A and B are shown apart, each in its own frame.
Chain A
Amino acid sequence: MGSGALFIAVFLACMVEAVEALTIVLAAGTSRDWRSAIMGVLAGVVALALIVAALGPALTAVPLGGLRLVVGGLLLIFGLQWLRKAILRASGLKALHDEEAIFRTQVAEASAAQADRRGVIGDWYAFTLSFKGVVLEGLEVAFIALTFGANQGDIPLAAFAAIAAVLIVAAVGIAVRAPLARVPENTMKMVVGVMLTSFGIFWAAEGAGAQWPGADAALLVVIPSVAVFALLLVVALRRRSTRSTGKGPLATRASR
């Protein structure tokens, strides 16, 4: 249960963020300069690896009780943020994340920017766009992978799940050379939100001194309960949206 949940949560979270980072890198590469964009990706990956290398051993050194309280609380806050957005999108109250529209916007912005060479970087704009895309999208996933892994005592599995997701997205991205618009991002975000919220509840409560009935088996109740609650909120918001407009969900797809 624990290892499977760890793998699913990290893999899906990483895949969602990798899809979003891929869109930015593709925009930087196709509209500006592939060499600079790829250097930006490599620099971003190195920066993330340094963060993980620094935080990983530090997290494993923290006593489990304190780790679960702080990390569980943070995961719960993250999970509620992911769930909030996924529920709003699933109920039509927030526009869906549209990778193709984001790609078009990024290309338009990148094409209008001035060319600027700095050192070995042929196109500084393409480099920084790719670098920021990788680091900003990857930072939350790195945190999720590290904290899940540390709490479950299996950082290597979390790292494997994260690397597997990135490699799959990168391979598909190289093959199709287009934003991965057909990936069911919101469904994946909903699953990640449910997992983060559930494990956040479980670990933070334990860290604060609570004892769960049935110990780890309580997760078998917590995870489905959070999922059902989220789906009920989607249904309630959809009904409200339909009643208020008389047509159906308000939002369509977002360009960002």
Chain B
Amino acid sequence: MITRLKAFLAFWYDFVVGDDWRVAVGVIIALALTYLVGTTSVPAWWVLPAAVVVLLPLTLWRVVRGQSSAPPTDGK
């Protein structure tokens, strides 16, 4: 039962969060920041594009750095 529950939770974690949890955390932080900036007189639309400009190269960089000492990855 516990094993099945763990497998179920692992599936949904993988489905929603994916390979790099930092991306999901970064998006949530950026959403919170968008909300906070939106409560001021400053426009908030730029926060998420800026987050993508930071998060995408960062998550790619982690793979590149990991591959410099390992063989090419494969997978889905």
Asked if A35 is an interface residue, CB under 8 A from chain B, the answer is: no
Stretch among A46-54, A113-121, A170-178, A204-212 lining the B interface = A204-212
With contact pairs A237-B60, A251-B73, A256-B76 given, residues A213 and B31 touching in the complex (Cβ less than 8 Å)? no
Are A254 and B45 in contact, with the CB atoms below 8 A?
no
- Across the interface, which residues of A come within 8 angstroms of B20, CB to CB? 81, 84
Q: Can you name 7 A-B pairs with beta carbons within 8 Å? A: A77-B18, A93-B64, A204-B34, A208-B34, A210-B38, A211-B45, A222-B49
Chain B residues touching A, majority SS: helix
Q: A residues engaging B (CB < 8 A)?
A: 20, 69, 73-74, 76-78, 80-81, 83-85, 87-88, 93-95, 97, 139-140, 197, 200-201, 204-205, 208-213, 218, 222, 225-226, 229-230, 233, 237, 240, 244, 250-252, 254-256
User: Nearest Cβ in chain A — how far from B58, in angstroms?
Assistant: 10
Q: What separation, in Å, do the CA atoms of A73 and B30 have in the docked complex?
A: 10
- Across the interface, which residues of B come within 8 angstroms of A209, CB to CB? 34-35, 38-39, 44
Asked if B9 is an interface residue, CB under 8 A from chain A, the answer is: no
Q: B residues engaging A (CB < 8 A)?
A: 15-20, 23-24, 27-28, 31-32, 34-35, 37-39, 43-45, 47-49, 52-53, 55-57, 59-60, 63-64, 67-68, 72-76
Are A140 and B23 in contact, with the CB atoms below 8 A?
no
With contact pairs A74-B16, A209-B38 given, residues A95 and B74 touching in the complex (Cβ less than 8 Å)? yes
Are A210 and B44 in contact, with the CB atoms below 8 A?
yes
User: Nearest Cβ in chain A — how far from B59, in angstroms?
Assistant: 5
